[in-house]
Each structure stands twice: as structure tokens, then as C-alpha cells.
Amino acid sequence: MNTTQSSPQFKTSDKRGALRRFVSGLAAVGALTLAAAAAQAGDSHGKFDIEGYAGVGEKYMAKLDVKGDGKFKAKDEGDKIVFTADVGKGDPELKMKDGRQKHTVGPESKIDIAAGTVVKLTVEKSKLTFPEAGKEASGSVPAKLEYNGKTQSVTVEYKVKEKDGKYIVKKASFSFDYTKHVRKSDKDKRACLAVVCVNPTVKIVVKQDVVVEAKKS
């Protein structure tokens, strides 16, 4: 049986294409929701992977993987956990596997990510579910993703295990539609190079297990 702690306080310790990097930044923010919640004395840091694909036409024929990775910070702000990723900073903060950095960040960005763009993901701590001692649990938590002055609701999926008084976040991920944050007025807001376009849905995945040490308030 799972138990939900409405306001836990934490202490935390832890251990490729244009679009992916951008997504990484966002994803990282959402993926480590539980881990980030642990930042009682300051910011918590984490890494994430970006998963997406591109192809030709509306059916994305001849699919190509779009992958990347990035970094994020998370901060406990009382009743919520706030994740931020400086997606406008570029390498080394955002790193596309195919090296198409100029199509991701700055004046040549095809996804409206200019230098200085920061993505924020907010999760309410009361929505997080933690397992009993020695148990493992899976869950999902609603979150709010913001950047470029636009907001969309996302769902963070996670799996966490309790061991010796600590919570080990085994999995954490979420998907979002990057076109909802593109400010240009064109009808098609996808990131495209000639006839090849990146699918609007991108997935962010936590890169490694995260150990969270928590206690009731």
C-alpha cells in the first residue's frame, strides 16, 4: 500500500536534430521531480536525456532519431518543487547528439529558443506519492511547464523504491509538445530542415538513479 505525504521536507544526495537539447532542458526539469524535491538547503542538480524523432511528411516516413542530453536544477519552494533548465545557454548545458546546436539555440534556432531562454517546470509536493518502508511504487504527478511566456500541463511518470530510510528514484520521465511554445505565427510550428521535420512530442528522461533522503515535517 502506498502512502502519500502531503508536505515532506527533503535532504538530497545524488549520484541527438535540433530539438532534443531544447527538450532535454525541459525534460530534466520534469524527470527528477522527486529528487529535486529534496533540495531543502538549496538547489539540487540533475541530468536528463531527450528522446524524439524526425521524418518526412505528416507520417514522419524514413524516421530519424533525435537525441540529446542536458542539465537542470531543482529547488524546494515550500509547497512545490521548481525545476529550471537554461536551454538558451547551449553546450555544455544542452548537447545534441548530432551536433546541430545552431538549429537549437540562438539566432538560427528552429524551435524559438534564443540565448537566455529558461524553462521552468513546477510540481506540487502534495501530489507526490511515496512507498512504505522496503517497498517500491510507481506513480504520476501533474506538472506545469513554462517558457517563452507560454504554459502547458504535463504528466511526470516515476518509479521510486524505499530502502533504509531513503527513497531511490528509479525512473522519471515526461513528454511535452514543443510547438506549443513557439511564438512565430506560421501555421506549421515544427522544427524542419527542408522536408524533414521533428515530431512535436518530445520525451524527457532522468539519466541516473537519484537517492532522496526524506523526513516528515
Question: Measured between alpha carbons, how far is 95 from 151 in angstroms, rounded to an integer?
Answer: 24
The label of the residue with cell 547528439 reads 97
Q: Does residue 2 belong to any structural domain of this protein? A: no
For residue 210, the enclosing domain spans: 9-215
CB 195 within 8 A of CB 56: yes
Query: Which pTM was predicted?
Result: 0.75
Q: Does residue 113 belong to any structural domain of this protein? A: yes
106 dihedral zone (left: phi>0; alpha: psi -120 to 50; beta): left
**pLDDT tens by residue, 115-148:** 889 999 998 888 888 788 889 888 999 999 999 9
166, pLDDT greater than 70: yes
Q: pLDDT band for position 160 (50/70/90)?
A: confident
- If one counts the domains in the chain, the total is 1
Q: Does residue 37 belong to any structural domain of this protein? A: yes
Q: Does residue 1 belong to any structural domain of this protein? A: no
**pLDDT tens by residue, 18-54:** 444 444 334 333 434 444 444 333 566 788 899 999 9
Q: Does residue 3 belong to any structural domain of this protein? A: no
Q: What is the pLDDT of residue 103?
A: 81
CATH at residue 129: 2.40.128.110
Q: What is the pLDDT of residue 79?
A: 84
Q: Does residue 83 belong to any structural domain of this protein? A: yes
Sorted by sequence, the CB contacts under 8 Å of residue 91 that are 6+ apart come out as 101
